[in-house]
Structure 1
Amino acid sequence: MLNDSKLDPIRSTLLASAEANGIRHGYFTRVGGVSHGIYEGLNIGSGSDDDQALVAENRRRVATWMGVSPDHLLSVHQVHSPDVVVATGPFLGVRPKADAIVTDRPGIAIGASTADCGPVLFADPEARIIGAAHAGWKGALSGVLENTIVAMEGLGARRDRILAVLGPSISAANYEVGPEFVARFSDADAGNARYFAPSQNPGHSMFDLNLYTVDRLKRAGVAAEMLDRCTYAEEDLFYSYRRTTHRKEADYGRQISAIALED
């Protein structure tokens, strides 16, 4: 049941290796929330039209699972940018506009909210420095992944120790794009052609955002992998902007992927 009170986030084997260093993580699904209707489940999207009291309760449940107080579960106002903020405590007032957060402070959970874009969680277990990035195609293309790594280095991390895992996002089988999209990537790097495959619709292509993201992480010099879970296809577990658009639904929820340093 989606509204069962027990949260059941997906875990990464790679990031689980950092638990001995007091690093906790979870890629949360729709399971365990109180929202209903088109938002059924654990909708944490404060930008959605869902009842914000229900969203707050969903976020409280995530914070509890992560072992932090609700005001210490931090997410930014995501704008599909390459921008990263350093969190030293709860955000005061309006959330900063950015697409990634890094921190070295215990007792803070940082997260990325998504509904097809790629949530990437980062950890340097030895330095106890963590990061969370929202990597849609715009952010990934413009450097949000690399900027997150640089921001972590600014806090004392080393990229050869950083672990990075891409969580649930839209798969290539469900991500059809037009020729102008392909041209944008080809203009940036001719080698990007390998991330596109022909679509059944003439002139269109299927884009592998997951592979593109992981390859950029590996080229940046970090250990990287993906969970290989599709937000579009797995409706019982994930919200999907593209699925909502295809169905002409009024709105959609968001799931969160979060990582924290334990005290």
Structure 2
Amino acid sequence: MIFVRNGAVPYYQFASFLSCDFIDHAVFTRQGGVSQGAFSSLNLSSAVADEREAIAENRQRAYGSTGRSTQTLVHAHLTHGNDVLEVGARHYGTTPGQADGLISAEPGCGITMNYADCAPIFLVDPINRAIAVGHA
């Protein structure tokens, strides 16, 4: 993985994904955010009892460090099941439902997922120019 620091929020990128000209990606750490206490510092999850304003600021900082707006992203609400949602522009700025994976072949659509004690899964289909995230 390649370490990147663009502003206050550090992140990592997979070297193998950098050759795909149709995706941007980032794997964030917990550094560079504004959350306090047990959620310090870059908490991106709304599923915990962190301040909503802090989560919103953390998301703006994190996604902004990659040049993305939170309004062009779709976020998964994890259920620990086997549901996968196909998403696109109609879902921008939302959490469209409960799912354990998101997939999109729509140009410009950003998909996000939080991971705690689950293993992250990142998929890229260069033929169909599709991306997916999931967890195990």
TM-score bin (small chain): 0.7 to 0.9
Counterpart code for 1:117: C
The answer to whether the Cα contact below 8 Å between 1:83 and 1:100 also exists between their aligned partners in 2 is yes
Q: State the match for 2:111 in structure 1.
A: 110
When normalised by structure 1's length, the TM-score is 0.46
Q: Does 1:129 align with 2:121?
A: no
Name the CA distance, whole Å, in 2 between partners of 1:60 and 1:31: 14
Unaligned runs of 5+ in 2: 1-6
Kept in 1: contact 2:84–2:101 (CA 8 A): yes
Distance 1:8 1:95, change over 3 A: same
By how many angstroms is 1:92 displaced?
7.6
Equivalent pair of 1:77/1:99 in contact (CA under 8 Å): yes
Amino acid at match of 2:30: R
Match of 1:240 in 2: none
One-letter amino acid of the structure 2 residue matched with residue 8 of structure 1? P
Question: Which residue does the alignment assign to 2:98?
Answer: 97
RMSD: 1.9
Q: Distance in 1 between matches of 2:28 and 2:95?
A: 24
In the aligned structure 2, how far is the partner of 1:104 from the partner of 1:32? 30
SS in 2 for 1:114: coil
Is the CA contact 2:71–2:93 (under 8 Å) kept in the aligned structure 1?
Answer: no
Q: Is the 8 A contact 2:76 2:95 kept in 1?
A: no
1:75 offset after TM fit, Å?
1.3
Which one has the bigger strand percentage?
Answer: 2
> 1:60 maps to what in 2?
60
Alpha-carbon displacement from aligned partner over 1:23-66 (angstroms, at most 9, x marks no partner): 11111111111111111111001111000100011111222233
Greater radius of gyration (CA): 1
Name the one with the larger helix percent.
1
Distance (Å, rounded) in 2 between the aligned partners of 1:13 and 1:93: 29
